[in-house]
Structure 1
Amino acid sequence: MREGLRHLAGRVWWYPHDEDAETVQGGVAVIADDTGSILVDAGNAPTTARRIQAAIEAAGLPAVRRLVYTHHHWDHVWGACAWPDVEIIGHRAGARLLADEARRPWSHHYLREQVERDPRLGPSFSARGRAMPDWQGFVVLPPHTEFDDTLTLADGVEIRHVGGRHAEDSTVVAVPDSGVLLLGDSYYPPPYHLREPGDGPDIALVRWLLDEGRYGHYEWFVDSHDHPNRARDVRELLLAAEG
């Protein structure tokens, strides 16, 4: 995995995803602010979160004070317990789901037991096991601050619920002064164990975000498990996909 933060645009920095798809580690954004940086997603495990913390310190960025979940899936939230004294922000639907997740008896034994019951969980639960060398101190953390539709933070960062089939709480995070829209996994198909034949990316959602007046002029459209893409390149890919 490539270590370190990449400066993307304005006050947005990017910690890259792991290109080994079986690792299931998405990219994480840091929005620098003098009063304390905003982290977008927490990493897939406390060990990953600690690498991100070291990268933030090495880059000389302000300490993280707020963490925004793009959605409740494990690879975006399991690192949160390594971020002490940070306000966690997330959609209300995700808060409910994470409260349920927090009650599960997470362990390697529990992961194996669940895969035996439903083999389609294998890829996800195997990745979880690899991400967690031990479970000491691990807890799933629901958000402290919940929202329903949109939430604008004091520093101008805009958080917007878009939903979709990948996760009902999918949220995008916009940084207007930097021209960056962070998509999370919002346009992805459903998770593997819920996927049906014919399920694919939500092209209509990407088209709407590109054409919607609020984001149409943004330069960067960044999803979690790919390299950051410029809006013009996303438009070209959509044209090719739409034939």
Structure 2
Amino acid sequence: MELKKLSEHIWFMPYESERDRPNLGYVKGDNWSLAIDAGHSDNHVKEFYSLLETEGLPLPSLTVITHWHWDHTFGIHAVNGLCIANEKTNGHLLEWKSKIETNGPAEFLAIHESIRKEYAGGKEVIVKPADILFSGEMTFDLGGCRVRIVESESPHTEDSTLVYIEDDKVLFLGDSTGDDFMTGIKDMDLCQKLGAKIKMLNPETCMEGHWVPVPTEDSLEELYK
């Protein structure tokens, strides 16, 4: 696995299908840096950080979460600095933290084979909520690089956060353009609302959670399928 540079301020660790690991994004400004999503486990985070260190990049001071699903969040306990998520995302994390601490990880491990591969050998499952909560929209100035995080309705989950790097015109979508993981349903009304949000931000490139960077038109076409 190698760290890929996407634009002036952006790098990413590519997704992996076998363990259902999503892309992990990294944005560096002149003053500080942030990551996008916290990964499937502490092993995922450690591998990501090792790639950053190899490239001479500082570890992120902040990690932004795109939605609550485990492959994007169950590495939160291992991230450097603070983690920010919207209130709905944090609610789901608190629910799963309670379930696993009360009943053990069996229900979680039963969801999918990719989870059992990530946590093979009896690896401990640790769920931690975010450190900072936001609602609506926030903007960060990393130093010569502005990042907007925007809540959005989406067909995939009720708690999607989009991450837009304005100066590079790159939008991290998480898994927001996909259908509902549990039901397989892709609600067209929610697709239209997400599409409107994407068009409002007007990125040139979109990065979905489990795919390569593509022109925005390609992501919109996938969304409306």
After TM superposition, the score normalised by the length of structure 2 is 0.86
Provide, for residues 83-122 of structure 1, a one-character-per-residue CA deviation record: whole Å limited to 9, x for no partner.
14x11100011111211111223699732xx38xxxxx84
The answer (yes or no) to whether the contact 2:76–2:130 under 8 Å persists in 1 is no
Provide, for residues 156-190 of structure 1, a one-character-per-residue CA deviation record: whole Å limited to 9, x for no partner.
21000002232111010000011110000112111
Matched, 1:211 2:199: yes
The answer (yes or no) to whether the contact 1:35–1:62 under 8 Å persists in 2 is no
Distance 1:34 1:63 in 2: 14
Root mean square deviation, CA, Å? 2.6
Q: CA deviation at 1:209?
A: 3.8
Distance 2:174 2:155 in 1: 13
1:16 to 14, 26, 31: 14
Q: Specify the code of the residue in structure 1 equivalent to 2:150.
A: R
Provide, for residues 40-99 of structure 1, a one-character-per-residue CA deviation record: whole Å limited to 9, x for no partner.
001111111111010111111122110000011100011122214x11100011111211
Note closer, same or farther for the CA distance 1:59–1:200 as it changes in structure 2 (3 Å cut): farther
Note closer, same or farther for the CA distance 1:164–1:219 as it changes in structure 2 (3 Å cut): closer
The answer (yes or no) to whether the contact 1:158–1:173 under 8 Å persists in 2 is yes
Q: Specify the code of the residue in structure 2 equivalent to 1:103.
A: S
Compare CA radii of gyration and give the structure with the larger one: 1
Aligned to 1:94: 89
Matched, 1:231 2:221: no
Number of residue pairs the alignment of both structures matches: 220
Distance 1:106 1:128 in 2: 17
Counterparts of residues 1-243 of structure 1 (less than 5 Å): 3-18=1-16, 20=17, 22-84=18-80, 86-105=81-100, 110-111=105-106, 114=107, 122=110, 124-133=111-120, 134-136=122-124, 138-155=125-142, 156-191=146-181, 193-196=182-185, 199=186, 203-205=191-193, 207-212=195-200, 215-216=201-202, 218-234=203-219, 237=221
Q: For structure 1, which runs of at least 5 residues remain unmatched after alignment?
A: 116-120
Distance 1:238 1:60 in 2: 36
Q: For structure 2, which runs of at least 5 residues remain unmatched after alignment?
A: none
The answer (yes or no) to whether the contact 1:25–1:225 under 8 Å persists in 2 is yes
Distance 2:12 2:55 in 1: 11
Q: CA deviation at 1:234?
A: 4.0
Identity between Structure 1 and Structure 2 (%)? 23
Q: CA deviation at 1:146?
A: 0.7
After TM superposition, the score normalised by the length of structure 1 is 0.80
The answer (yes or no) to whether the contact 1:30–1:40 under 8 Å persists in 2 is yes
Moved more, 63-72 or 157-166: 157-166
The answer (yes or no) to whether the contact 1:17–1:226 under 8 Å persists in 2 is yes
Partner of 2:164, secondary structure, is strand
Provide, for residues 114-156 of structure 1, a one-character-per-residue CA deviation record: whole Å limited to 9, x for no partner.
38xxxxx84x3432221123434x5212111111100112332
Q: Specify the code of the residue in structure 1 equivalent to 2:26.
A: V
The answer (yes or no) to whether the contact 2:77–2:126 under 8 Å persists in 1 is yes
The answer (yes or no) to whether the contact 2:77–2:128 under 8 Å persists in 1 is yes
